[in-house]
Structure 1
Amino acid sequence: MNLETEFDFTLPHGYRDAEGNIHKTGMMRLATASDEISPMKDPRVQSNPGYLAIILLSRVVTRLGELPQINPRVIEEMFAGDFAFLEDMYRRINSNGHNRIDAVCPDCSTRFEVEVKSTGEL
């Protein structure tokens, strides 16, 4: 069994850079213990615990469109819907080790898993 450690995504809206280019496709990797512990030393997190998610995402989003690097500023400037999408994806892949969700057939009540498409759509 191979461990999948990187997951493709497509943001619902996309990140607009300083030149007006939209970046929607990217890659997120599984977080390490260091990814979750190191940001706690950051003064921005110490003064505002809500900033932890921004630091975490800037560490685990390894690619976003053609951007040369992903830093906290990129995550800060995302649309709220894209930020929420990445937070949900982070929780799914790091809790479950995959990007699937549980589903139930509305007709027969059969339970099954569905792979979340990169756009967040089922």
Structure 2
Amino acid sequence: MAFQTEFEFTLPKGYVDEHGSLHRSGVIRLATAADEILPLKDPRVQQNPAYLTIILLSRVITKLGDLPAVNPRIIEGLFATDLAYLQHLYQQINEIGTPAIKAACPKCGQEFEVEVAGWGEE
């Protein structure tokens, strides 16, 4: 099994673009050291440390619906519910690892963990 670096997700509400189109499905990748360090040099982050989340998510979300690119302006336009969802997902895949659930064999009772593919999908 290959090491998973990208994860599909579906936003609870979705991003509404300037044309009124709704974008809910997307892809987020694992963060690199540069993703976490370089935004600290951004003046917006230096003025307001809470802005780090906006910059960080705009770097690691590689796809959102049919949008050509994801940038800080798009992340700023997310509903609070969706921002919280993405923050939680980011923590899940980067700090804790690939989400897994505990399972048991129905015949022998042996317990094991199964990685959850497509974390965040409906």
| TM-score interval for Structure 1 and Structure 2 normalised by the shorter chain | 0.7 to 0.9
- For 1:94-113, list aligned pairs within 5 A: 94-100=94-100
Aligned CA RMSD, in angstroms, stands at 2.1
Partner residue of 1:31? 31
SS in 2 for 1:75: helix
Gaps of 5+ in 2: 104-110
TM-score by length of 1: 0.84
SS in 1 for 2:12: strand
TM-score by length of 2: 0.84
Partner residue of 1:75? 75
What percent identity do the matched residue pairs reach? 54
How far did 1:28 drift? 0.2
Large movers: runs of 4+ above 4 Å: 110-114
Gaps of 5+ in 1: 104-109
Partner residue of 2:17? 17
SS in 2 for 1:56: helix
SS in 2 for 1:57: helix
Distance verdict in 2 for CA 1:114–1:86, change over 3 Å: same
Distance 1:75 1:87 in 2: 11
Q: Which amino acid in the other structure matches residue 18 of structure 1?
A: E
Pairing 1:118–2:121 present:
yes
